[in-house]
Structure 1
Amino acid sequence: MRTDSLFYQLFQIYPTILFELIGDLSPRTSTYSFLSQEVKQTSFRIDGILLPPPYAADLPIYFVEFQGYRDLNGDLYPSFFSEIFLYLNDYRPANDWRGILVFTKRRLDPGLPLHYQDFARSSRLQRIYLDQLTGEVADISIGLGLLQLVGVKEATAPETAKQIIEKAQRELTDVTERQKIIELIETVSFTSSQN
């Protein structure tokens, strides 16, 4: 299973994890929905878009890209910004936008190319490195724990997975949701051990 499909499943269950990652814990973040959407007239596909409800034109749209492998051709940043601007052109949303790049490991970030340096100092772009997330599993949400699991070293993944499963069993009362999370943890653990 590709890393981006793991993220897609995780964000389908917990769309608010993105907001935890970027430090926005306002109550309005729970109104967003997560989807993957094709941009018209191209073969581009954005990994994830968090759309606010139609009545909330003051909330930004979040474009999310997950990177779990090395970008050998230098396509990541040009493709990411092209996808965003094609989406904005095709759909013409009233909302402002933010771009979030989530890397499983910091070393996978090829660095911002010269043509996109203006975004380095802009609030429009945020880069997150899962291998640098801090916090003990007991002290963070189940969703952030799952993201942390994707970024941890192979040697520590089994213990981290065990802690998240225990936390899910304690905290989640909905049996279906708990089972989905446990299956996702097992998938993430297996995928992490394959990389």
Structure 2
Amino acid sequence: SPQLAESYQFSSVEVKQTAFRIDGVFLPNQSIDNPIYFLEVQFQLDEDLYDRLFAEIFLYIRQNKPKNRWNAVVIYPTRSIDTRDIQHYQEFFTSQRVRVIYLDELGETTSLPIGIATIKLIIAKDDKAITQARELINRTKQEVNSQLQQQQVLQIIETILIYKFPRMNREEIEAMFGLSELKQTRFYQEAKEEGREEAKLETVPGLIGLGLTIEQIAQVLKLSVEEIRQNINIKEK
């Protein structure tokens, strides 16, 4: 209406593009019927999270023009970390196109998919983390058939354990959780050679989301700070 129009003024606004990094993008192999999944893992309070997430998603869509529809999942350790400042994006949450998971409200890890159970290991208390880690390692050996994927999951579990038990070195953790014996097998060595460097670098975005610094990540993964920085820069382009 004319009265409503008088309440607005028109202007052409330049939107400056900054470098974005999406924690994870899961792309369907072939079918356009399956959606693209965007993953954001957030373990620290961030009032700009949803603004940044949706900017990343729509910038990705603009640049890549995928034919698939999309969904997003945001993972928090607890509900208290979620600012829920979603006034501009309420429809996406109402339609469940975007879903939020609070790890401490999920069930027992034994009933969860390996991926979610692995992330939940991060918030487990130290005494429970030991039991959960052993269960996860056994499940990974039994349920993950791909050598490369199995090696990647075990690498992530080991990285989380190093982060949770800083007083223990890598060799002690490997011995405690039976990883040292596993790593001597031909099965593991082949997988390690196939994707050792790639598997390490794939964990970088998630570790940054957990609040680790570049220097801490380099120390945990036994890579140089420059390698970590280069990996981050590549993913931001």
Q: TM-score, normalised by structure 1?
A: 0.64
Q: Report what 1:44 is aligned to.
A: 20
Q: Report what 1:190 is aligned to.
A: 162
Give the secondary structure class of the aligned counterpart of 1:167: helix
- Counterpart AA for 2:27: L
Q: Report what 1:158 is aligned to.
A: 130
Q: Unaligned regions of 5+ residues in structure 2, if any?
A: 1-16, 167-209, 211-237
Q: Report what 1:90 is aligned to.
A: 63
Q: Distance in 1 between matches of 2:142 and 2:61?
A: 42
Deviation at 1:82, TM superposition (A): 0.7
**Any conservation in 1 of the 2:37–2:70 contact (CA below 8 Å)?**
yes
Q: Distance in 1 between matches of 2:23 and 2:125?
A: 24
- Counterpart AA for 2:45: R
Deviation at 1:171, TM superposition (A): 5.1
Q: Report what 1:67 is aligned to.
A: 42
Q: Distance in 2 between matches of 1:125 and 1:102?
A: 11
**Any conservation in 2 of the 1:61–1:98 contact (CA below 8 Å)?**
yes
Residue among 40, 51, 55 paired with 1:78: 51
Q: Distance in 2 between matches of 1:97 and 1:175?
A: 29
Structure 1 residues 93, 174: CA separation in 2 closer, same or farther (over 3 Å shift)?
Answer: closer
Equivalent residues in 2 for 1:1-195 (5 A)?
Answer: 42-53=18-29, 55-71=30-46, 74-137=47-110, 139-169=111-141, 178-193=150-165
Q: Distance in 1 between matches of 2:80 and 2:103?
A: 11
Q: Distance in 1 between matches of 2:142 and 2:63?
A: 45
Computing the radius of gyration over CA atoms, which structure comes out larger, 1 or 2? 2
> What does the per-residue CA deviation read over 1:110-153, in whole Å, with 9 as the maximum and x for residues that have no partner?
1133222222312211111122221342x444334312212323
Q: Distance in 1 between matches of 2:37 and 2:147?
A: 30
**Any conservation in 2 of the 1:57–1:94 contact (CA below 8 Å)?**
yes
Give the strand-richer structure, 1 or 2.
1
- Counterpart AA for 2:115: G
Structure 1 residues 177, 47: CA separation in 2 closer, same or farther (over 3 Å shift)?
Answer: closer
- Counterpart AA for 2:40: E
Deviation at 1:84, TM superposition (A): 0.8
Q: Distance in 1 between matches of 2:115 and 2:105?
A: 16
Q: Unaligned regions of 5+ residues in structure 1, if any?
A: 1-40
Q: Distance in 1 between matches of 2:133 and 2:68?
A: 37
Identity %: 36
Deviation at 1:165, TM superposition (A): 2.5
Structure 1 residues 69, 192: CA separation in 2 closer, same or farther (over 3 Å shift)?
Answer: farther
- Counterpart AA for 2:130: P
Question: Which consecutive aligned stretches of 4+ in structure 1 deviate over 4 angstroms post-superposition?
Answer: 169-180
Give the helix-richer structure, 1 or 2.
2
Q: Distance in 2 between matches of 1:174 and 1:160?
A: 22
